[in-house]
Structure 1
């Protein structure tokens, strides 16, 4: 389900209208108030857990909890089928999330800008809002980094071709002044990444960036199965998740970043799928291996607020 054209135009001209046509301030979806620092079972504060990672450690040698479709907080902006998160970006970062899945189409009425979408459903937040929230967090937490998949969603009436998408990305880098926020080239060590957004480019480019793949390329080794057309699909998805965890455990020196999506789309609502997979597969797997040294790479999930135990176990995996 997309957003009606009249609603997009009303948003651009009314609520948030001044920000929609330029500037860096902007309005973002309100996030739940963050009640203060949490700590993991091993005692690491979630808002600055990377401070405790030694300089020189490769970023691809970490376990990095993340979110899938990171800005899809409101089922009114789509349906429950596109609802994947309850925390906003700022709270996700405060709670220890360090990978964001950001998917963009063009923004009607704003010829240089990008809006955040789930397929064709606009999420009423713009790319500059996300980047401003990341920059604000990193300025107050300079030991941390954010890894960001930035995707050309290429969906609906606001789909952008390759050349136009790159032009708008350059507008953000140059005219809006976000270039200095990013680390662009090659997987860095943690000290080189601190205070930066590490860009994973999921759009066509010849810029030499760290390029995304939902399967494998020279940068990532990913499991992103989100739809299975057979009986008991969540059982099969659970096997994919365990298989990727095991692969990461058995290959600690692998030169690629492992990615293991815990999210699943078909059959039931994402929140129902997440509950089943967490309860039946992910939590039992991690709980049984609490003292096992491993680097699992990027682990994006739906609704980490419902599964804080899993989020904290992933953070703690870096300090076994």
Structure 2
């Protein structure tokens, strides 16, 4: 995908509040001068940030009498607000499908009455590019080709969406590396389950603690938080919303791992992505090197489990009586999806209620994800009858997944762009999915094993597409001059 135009595939009707948007904190803070590393937050120019997928920018201004200078605190960043607007409007002129969300913050809190007067002059000069605020949550079609101002300065005139109206996490001062990550982790973990769909959410990977001379600079937090955030997005791909994420020194993996959530949220095809940012060893039935398994599973248990499951599938004896509980091998694997014979009718009944014109990922996942009677947590197997016993708990509507033997399970829709189904009678479900227009490859009984966490390995996608000439896993065409390719910390 051309990161300059990644918003082009998102529906016009998508509210701003539903988008997952990669952003930068203190977007113009490129110069540290004599601040010992505390004033510099970015390496890439604003133009490069936008070209590499950043769509939220954080602009700090100070009144110079008749114009705004760009600052990070007291440090002048060798640029004026007009320079910022020229770069943003040049980008939008060349990429009219995009929008740029711009926080404009009064950085000195002095002579606040003049801010409205000065900003009005900029507004008139760039009027065709500023979105004229008509709501607090515009749809993407209304703001394509426009700058949406998040107004963080006092003014009688409404130039955009009040910054105070956002739900903001910005624990930036007096936080350790670990405590900052805990705040971010809890924030991300709650966004899928507990959020107002009409509210815009902004979270920060950034922090700056000058009283900590060892680990308090923006670069220190970036080195610690950014890769953990990317790993979180990869490991929790069933969580399809991040809101706006602002970071210092982001790389392309950060950008793409966030914007990819929009593809899952809106059931968009992934074949145009360069790849999905997954960097881990994966062993599958199609590519099952013995060395990979031995290196990742010294106890050899995964190999033994894999062969046993493969045999059960080939013998067509994988069913409700298969022992999943107790000393179960299942605790060491997640399947893409399992539909056992006794569950097939319930799944098929749900699919038959759907129509191709109204199909959406939420309903489809909800129909396919669930083992029996709207629950998918197996507690025990009755030894006398072989019957699986289920608790009374039901699925939560707010998520696309629940737990099986304490580990999440989900359908790889939108990642593989196909389903991998294990079932004795799955042709009926397969046929119905085809009728609904779901893109499916040939039916397979393949099991995917991924070794991310030895205590709870998860099933992750392989690279969907690779840029020609790049090694597997490459995210963008090689360009040594691009600070987004290598982690841009200097």
Pairwise TM-score range, normalised by the shorter structure: 0.7 to 0.9
Structure possessing the higher radius of gyration over alpha carbons:
2
Q: What is the distance in 1 between the residues matched to 2:46 and 2:200?
A: 23
Report if the CA contact (8 A) 1:141-1:195 is conserved: yes
Q: What is the match of residue 264 of structure 1?
A: 207
Determine whether 1:205 maps to 2:152: no
- Residue from 128, 144, 147 that aligns with 2:101: 147
**1:167 counterpart residue number:** 117
How many angstroms apart in 2 are the aligned matches of 1:184 and 1:77? 40
Tell me, in whole angstroms, the C-alpha distance in 1 between the residues paired with 2:187 and 2:68: 33
Corresponding residue for residue 128 of structure 1 = 82
Residue 311 in 1 paired to residue 234 in 2?
A: no
Q: Secondary structure at the match of 1:81?
A: coil
Long gaps (5+) in structure 1: 1-43, 214-218
Q: 2:60 matched to 1:103?
A: yes
Counterpart position of 2:230: 283
What is the rounded CA distance, in whole Å, between the counterparts of 2:243 and 2:234 in structure 1?
A: 17
Matched, 1:81 2:38: yes
Q: Shift in Å at residue 253 of structure 1?
A: 4.7
Describe the shift of the 1:234–1:296 C-alpha distance in structure 2 as closer, same or farther (beyond 3 A).
Answer: same
CA deviation after TM superposition for structure 1 residue 104, in Å: 0.3
Q: Which residue of 1 aligns with 2:190?
A: 247
CA distance in 2, matches of 1:197, 1:128: 14
| Contact 1:77-1:124 within 8 A present in 2 as well | no
Q: Which residue of 2 aligns with 1:12?
A: none
Question: Take 1:277 and 1:130, find their aligned partners in 2: how far apart are those partners?
Answer: 27
**Separation in structure 2 between the aligned mates of residue 246 and residue 184 of structure 1, nearest angstrom:** 34
Do the aligned partners of 1:248 and 1:294 also contact (CA within 8 Å) in 2? no
C-alpha contact 2:169 2:202 (8 A) present in aligned 1: yes
Query: CA–CA distance in 1 between the matches of 2:140 and 2:195?
Result: 17
Deviation of 1:289 after TM superposition, in Å, equals: 1.3
Q: Do structure 1's residue 57 and structure 2's residue 14 form an aligned pair?
A: yes
Q: Secondary structure at the match of 2:253?
A: helix
SS of residue matched to 1:112: coil
What is residue 248 of structure 2 aligned with on the other side? 302
SS at match of 2:67: strand
**1:199–1:184 distance in 2 versus 1, CA, 3 Å:** farther
Is 1:227–2:173 an aligned residue pair? yes
Partner of 1:29: none
Quick check: which one's helix share is greater?
1
The count of residues paired between Structure 1 and Structure 2 equals 256
Question: CA shift at 1:255, angstroms?
Answer: 1.7
SS at match of 1:304: coil
Q: Is the 8 A contact 2:208 2:218 kept in 1?
A: yes
Which structure shows the bigger proportion of residues in strand conformation?
Answer: 1
CA–CA separation in structure 1 for the residues paired with 2:231 and 2:95: 32
Instruction: Tell whether the 8 Å contact from 1:105 to 1:152 is kept in structure 2 after alignment.
Output: yes
Contact 2:61–2:105, Cα closer than 8 Å, also in 1: yes
Which is bigger in relative contact order (C-alpha 8 A, separation at least 6)?
1
What is the alpha-carbon distance in structure 2 between the residues aligned to residue 94 and residue 125 of structure 1?
A: 19
- Runs of 4+, deviation exceeding 3 Å: none
* Partner SS for 2:128: helix
> Please, what is the CA RMSD of the aligned residues?
1.6
1:138 aligns with 2:99: no
CA contact 1:90–1:137 (8 Å) conserved in 2 = yes
Taking the aligned partners of 1:77 and 1:150, their CA distance within structure 2 comes to 25
Shift of 1:139: 0.4
Q: Give, in angstroms, the shift of residue 79 of structure 1.
A: 4.0
For the 8 Å contact 1:252–1:294, the answer to whether it is kept is: no
Q: Give the CA deviation at 1:82.
A: 0.7
Maintained 8 Å contact 2:131/2:148: yes
Separation (CA, whole Å) in 2 of partners of 1:234 and 1:284: 16
Q: Does the 8 Å contact 1:226/1:265 carry over to 2?
A: yes
